[in-house]
Amino acid sequence: MRNRLFLVFLVTALAACSGPAVIPVSDLSGANNNDKARVVAEGDSLYQISWEAGLDYRDVARWNNLDPPYRLSTGQMIYLSDQKLSGNVSSVASRPQPVVVEVSPIISPAETEPSSESQTVDNSATVSVAPIETGHGWVWPADGIVIGRFEDNTGDNGIDISGQSGAPIQAAAPGKVVYAGTGLRGYGLLLIIKHDETYLSAYAHNRAVMTKEGDEVSKGQVIAEMGQTGAESPRLHFEIRKDGKPVDPLRYLPPKN
């Protein structure tokens, strides 16, 4: 009987090892942008909560009478507007639950040449879709190969562009830097730019930043250096958020030649 159970276990383990790698990835999209408050979970920060809700962390701090360094306690109620709750329990959100994502092998910097057969995503995929006109005239934030695509249903909230460490990162549209730091899980050294009341863009895994909070930046201005903080290899993780909700950057960026 023991031998039979061991054989079943061994066959099951080998079958599991033959498939693609699977890891839990936190969905940072924010389940409901109409939530009026958020219960702080272990590991949450004010920056994390604000970004998931598509809000400026300084506004959230003001609504909750928080002062730097914005320490939060597990179980604490954080209001997501300047209006207090009116007893509607359904308007209180908890941290989005992790989703399981199948992960393809990471492409190393040495494999970023266009001739590499391992590249499953390339920029030719962008030429078939006309960019959405927003008045900002978006430009590509970095040169390189697109190695990760936007997938709303799996929590992949942006695109990943591979490149060399230290390569320039530029603002995809004009705006104001509203965050620069490492306070968001999984993003490494991050910059967030507010373009207007509708659009934000995020630039993650930087090695260094050339701007600070409050700076006005122009389209195409170099704002950071590509790095791999919080990532397995040098890359830019780039997101665009419309009214706090992640949207596919490839629908906004111009086609590449």
Could you read off the pLDDT of 2-55 as tens digits, one per residue? 444 444 444 344 444 444 333 233 333 343 456 789 999 988 899 989 888 888
Q: Choose between 170 and 257: higher pLDDT.
A: 170
Q: Choose between 19 and 68: higher pLDDT.
A: 68
What's the predicted TM-score (pTM) here? 0.68
CA distances from 237 to 149, 211, 230, 233 (A): 10, 18, 10, 11
Average pLDDT over residues 180-207: 94
Q: Which residues of 174-197 are buried (b: 16+ CB within 10 A; e: fewer)?
A: bbebbbbbebbeebbbbbbbbbee
Report the mean per-residue pLDDT for the chain: 77
**pLDDT number for residue 133:** 83
**pLDDT number for residue 93:** 66
Question: Which of these CATH numbers, 3.40.50.150, 1.10.510.10, 2.70.70.10, 1.20.1050.10, describes 106-251?
Answer: 2.70.70.10
User: Would you place residue 104 in the very low, low, confident or very high pLDDT band (cuts 50, 70, 90)?
Assistant: very low
CB 194 within 8 A of CB 175: yes
**pLDDT number for residue 31:** 38
Q: Choose between 94 and 205: higher pLDDT.
A: 205
Instruction: Kindly tell me if the per-residue pLDDT of 192 is higher than 60.
Output: yes
| CATH 2.70.70.10 placement within the chain | 106-251
The class level of CATH for 37-93 reads alpha beta
From CA 172, how far away is CA 48, in angstroms rounded? 22
**Percent of the chain at pLDDT exceeding 70:** 68
Average pLDDT over residues 168-188: 95
| CATH 3.10.350.10 placement within the chain | 37-93
**pLDDT number for residue 256:** 80
Q: Comparing 9-13, 79-83, 154-158, 220-224, which segment has the lowest mean pLDDT?
A: 9-13
Q: Comparing 103-107, 206-210, 220-224, which segment has the lowest mean pLDDT?
A: 103-107
User: Would you place residue 123 in the very low, low, confident or very high pLDDT band (cuts 50, 70, 90)?
Assistant: very low
> What stretches of the chain adopt beta strand conformation (E)?
21-25, 37-39, 77-79, 92-93, 99-103, 146-148, 159-162, 168-170, 175-181, 189-194, 199-209, 216-217, 222-226, 235-242, 245-247
Enter the DSSP assignment of 91: G
**pLDDT number for residue 94:** 61
